[in-house]
Amino acid sequence: MRTAIHPNVTVVDHPLIVHKLSLMRDKTTPSSVFRQLLREISLLLGYEVLRDLPVELRPIETPVGPMDARFIKGKKLVFVPILRAGVGLLDGLLDLVPSARVGHIGLYRDPKTLQPVQYYCKLPEDIAERLVVLVDPMLATGNSVAAAVALLKARGVKDIKLVCLLSAPEGIAALTAAHPDVRVYTAAVDSHLNDHGYIVPGLGDAGDRMYGTK
């Protein structure tokens, strides 16, 4: 099930996803369950994000006879989680495409300005030739994701998709204005951001929920 709310945004609101997301939102859900649910949702979001991968025909023999079978056509992929919460979506995506490369971008939000500060960046050398799937569970102000996209574009990347679990309208507006070429896949668009830049009703701080750091 896919809902469109903005030409660049696909809301993947399949019942399996919304059910798992509701469990994640519940503040009594323990970290171990939260991480497992995030991984399961990443598989379901990944299914939609990779829907357009090109396929090619290759001859094979089934036990019954020859056929031209469809295989993914060697499209080179990189998954790039934004540290630290983006890591929670990575393993599910790697389950789907084990041969994908992985880059990491470390950004934290300055709590006063809410502006992103980069502290780490390690990307494959040939990233410019690849489809980059950027992953961050929360599209809140959009500042971190926009900064990560700018960094990727500075490395020559032309094809970028964003997977995020939850989005705020403010983040969608900011990202699509700054980078109208980036397609966004999200499980839900919530009401708004609060004064601290948290998504309402949201699920709290995704990194803290994943790792029990609060």
Interface residues with ligand URA (CB under 6 A) are: 85, 138, 140, 197-199, 202, 205-207
2 is a catalytic site residue:
no
Nearest Cα to Cα of residue 171 among 143, 195, 152, 137: 143
For the bound state, the minimum distance from the C-beta of residue 43 to ligand URA, rounded and expressed in Å, comes to 21
DSSP-based three-state secondary structure for 65: coil
109 is a catalytic site residue:
yes
Q: Which candidate in 113, 126, 181, 213 is catalytic?
A: 113
205 is a catalytic site residue:
yes
Q: How far apart are CA 83 and CA 137, in angstroms?
A: 10
Measured from the CB atom, the residue of 57 and 200 that comes closer to ligand URA is 200
Q: Which residue has the tokens 């995020």?
A: 164
Q: Which candidate in 13, 25, 155, 208 is catalytic?
A: 208
DSSP-based three-state secondary structure for 90: helix
197 forms bridges with which residues in the sheet? Answer: none
Measured from the CB atom, the residue of 85 and 133 that comes closer to ligand URA is 85
Measured from the CB atom, the residue of 133 and 140 that comes closer to ligand URA is 140
Q: Which two tokens stand for residue 7?
A: 């030409």
Long-range CB contacts for residues 142-146, cutoff 8 Å, separation at least 24: 142/170, 142/171, 142/172, 142/173, 142/174, 142/175, 142/178, 143/109, 143/114, 143/115, 143/116, 143/174, 144/82, 144/107, 144/109, 144/116, 145/82, 145/171, 145/175, 146/174, 146/175, 146/178, 146/179
For the bound state, the minimum distance from the C-beta of residue 193 to ligand URA, rounded and expressed in Å, comes to 7
113 is a catalytic site residue:
yes
Measured from the CB atom, the residue of 46 and 207 that comes closer to ligand URA is 207
Residues taking part in catalysis: 109, 113, 205, 208
